[in-house]
Structure 1
């Protein structure tokens, strides 16, 4: 269920706190549009500040509440591995960005506590094995550091009388290098100068997870550091992230290069990024034909954003012959994932041939919180451009658009109010409140 943004809810609360605890008659203070809009920006700003914390609790969606409850449950239990599994399972889902940042911070704190605990313990193989069993999955860097202490202690003991100490010193040096650069292969404390594949896997898994996580939570500086060695080693997702980070930094040549490498592995987001780069000519010559092929390939793998751009290519004849049926197919594919720009594109596609469908797609975008769609839907009902005129519905959608920050809706509300009876107006305002709370007819 969708819940509208804080600006919308706070706007309505502001009017409620100015003396409107129930639906008023037409003669009452906020029944007049001119008075409804006359409250100054300064007053609204002050009310928003005063109500921010209260309103914030109202606009949290059910999904966000469920995510926060899940995180609270994770924090309530004492183990680290469930936090790591949470991070790995959701590391590339930006809907969880806020929760991911919190869980990553908590995981880091718990790993630091583990490191502090073992810092006070003897650097023995028994303690190392105990630490590995309990914490290698979630805290491989901390385990690796303790292993370096163990190796260092072994080397100190061996220096005076035993041959082979040079080999052990080299082993400790390699382990220290591994701590500084996790892409090098670790060596095992259990055997002389043999690769520690278990440690290697744990460090690699952590580095991949960190790259994806940092990109998702938009910690770009650290994401760049974590992703670059993975991308250079051929990881397609890391290459895509590097391309996006390069675009953010306006390094279009590097972006095109990384995107080309990612797309070359048929990685759908990499194909999408390269397709957009080729369409726009960012750091490369424009190539709309190749761009369309890449976008379509990514769309056929189920990527909603790519389906949207593929639909536009078919709609506009960019890099391919215009084809309304194909445009509709790909745009509907994108819309099925809640892609709001696809709703607008479908409304435009049906504007002339099936205006009632155009209204339907505007309605979908409006219910998903688009202020522009809410305004256009108000216009549609007010003017009858996509079906029957409905002044009450027009008032509702204009009001939601205004409360969602779309100021041009003010004039529409004033016009519709003059056309509604008192009972219609009261019903319309009740529907506005329902819309704010995600309750639709």
Structure 2
């Protein structure tokens, strides 16, 4: 299965994400730069309610690839894809509502979409949902839920979530304070190149040794 995707927000560049499933019709054409054929094939899939085709077509309309840029059409397709359960589309909807990009800014709506994607195991959404709970943004502040979702993302290898989870263990926010567990997660983040996590791990190790 192949997706077209933005980097962080929709105003940024498009990129591709490959998964361990056969490519949908239109993907090879898109890769080859034949946007016209890709669009037609994605349109066929979208008419059949295929969420990946809906998502890819939404991205083409957003960026004006093979079609005239049309944000309203893009949002319509993206919402359909999210409604059909594609976690990547649900996460994208969350980002749009979080930032008020093409839709009225709404933290509760952002949280709702992040939650749907996070429950499907979508790592970035798990981090975002954890942050919503941690900050009390669009939802009642709940450190326990923040820890739950940061841990879910940390276990999938998200370096930011690993650092944040370590901090929760260090300070006892949403979890029982546990410096050894904090060190474990700081070390996990450090192994992925997080310099600050490496320094924190050393600091806590010294505290335990005192």
Normalised by the length of structure 2, the TM-score is 0.73
Task: Flag the 1:250–1:376 CA change in 2: closer, same or farther, 3 A.
Answer: farther
Q: How far has the Cα of 1:274 moved from its partner?
A: 1.0
Q: How far has the Cα of 1:406 moved from its partner?
A: 3.0
Q: Is 1:321 equivalent to 2:109 in the alignment?
A: no
Q: How far has the Cα of 1:383 moved from its partner?
A: 5.9
Q: 1:268 — aligned with what?
A: 51
**RMSD (Å) for aligned C-alpha atoms:** 2.9
Preserved CA contact (<8 Å) 1:359 1:377: yes
Preserved CA contact (<8 Å) 1:362 1:377: yes
Distance in 2 of aligned mates of 1:341 and 1:306: 12
Q: 1:290 — aligned with what?
A: 73
Aligned residues: 187
Distance in 1 of aligned mates of 2:161 and 2:105: 26
Task: Flag the 1:413–1:269 CA change in 2: closer, same or farther, 3 A.
Answer: same
Task: Summarize deviations over 1:204-239 as a string: whole Å, max 9, x none.
Answer: xxxxxxxxxxx9566xxxx7xxxxxxxxxxxxxxxx
Q: How far has the Cα of 1:324 moved from its partner?
A: 2.4
Q: 2:160 — aligned with what?
A: 372
Preserved CA contact (<8 Å) 1:355 1:387: no
Distance in 1 of aligned mates of 2:174 and 2:38: 43
- Note the 1:5-404 alignment, pairs <5 A: 216=20, 241-353=24-136, 354=141, 356=143, 357-382=145-170, 390-403=178-191
Q: 1:117 — aligned with what?
A: none
Q: Which residue, out of 386, 392, 406, partners 2:193? A: 406
Distance in 1 of aligned mates of 2:32 and 2:201: 43
Task: Pick the structure with more strand per residue.
Answer: 2
Q: How far has the Cα of 1:308 moved from its partner?
A: 1.6
RCO higher in structure (CA 8 A, sep ≥6): 1
Distance in 1 of aligned mates of 2:142 and 2:175: 7
Q: How far has the Cα of 1:326 moved from its partner?
A: 2.4
Q: 1:119 — aligned with what?
A: none
Q: How far has the Cα of 1:271 moved from its partner?
A: 0.7
Preserved CA contact (<8 Å) 1:289 1:320: no
Task: Summarize deviations over 1:4-62 as a string: whole Å, max 9, x none.
Answer: xxxxxxxxxxxxxxxxxxxxxxxxxxxxxxxxxxxxxxxxxxxxxxxxxxxxxxxxxxx
Distance in 2 of aligned mates of 1:375 and 1:382: 10
Gaps of 5+ in 2: 2-18
Preserved CA contact (<8 Å) 1:382 1:390: yes
Distance in 2 of aligned mates of 1:382 and 1:253: 54
Gaps of 5+ in 1: 1-91, 93-214, 224-240, 423-441
SS in 1 for 2:207: coil
Task: Summarize deviations over 1:246-299 as a string: whole Å, max 9, x none.
Answer: 333344443333223321333222111111222333343332322222122122
SS in 1 for 2:25: helix
Task: Flag the 1:282–1:350 CA change in 2: closer, same or farther, 3 A.
Answer: farther
Q: How far has the Cα of 1:407 moved from its partner?
A: 4.2
Distance in 1 of aligned mates of 2:167 and 2:64: 37
Preserved CA contact (<8 Å) 1:305 1:339: yes
Distance in 1 of aligned mates of 2:152 and 2:102: 29
Which of 1 and 2 has greater Rg?
1
Distance in 2 of aligned mates of 1:274 and 1:402: 38
Task: Pick the structure with more helix per residue.
Answer: 1
Task: Summarize deviations over 1:164-186 as a string: whole Å, max 9, x none.
Answer: xxxxxxxxxxxxxxxxxxxxxxx
Q: How far has the Cα of 1:340 moved from its partner?
A: 0.4
Task: Flag the 1:217–1:304 CA change in 2: closer, same or farther, 3 A.
Answer: closer
Preserved CA contact (<8 Å) 1:290 1:319: no
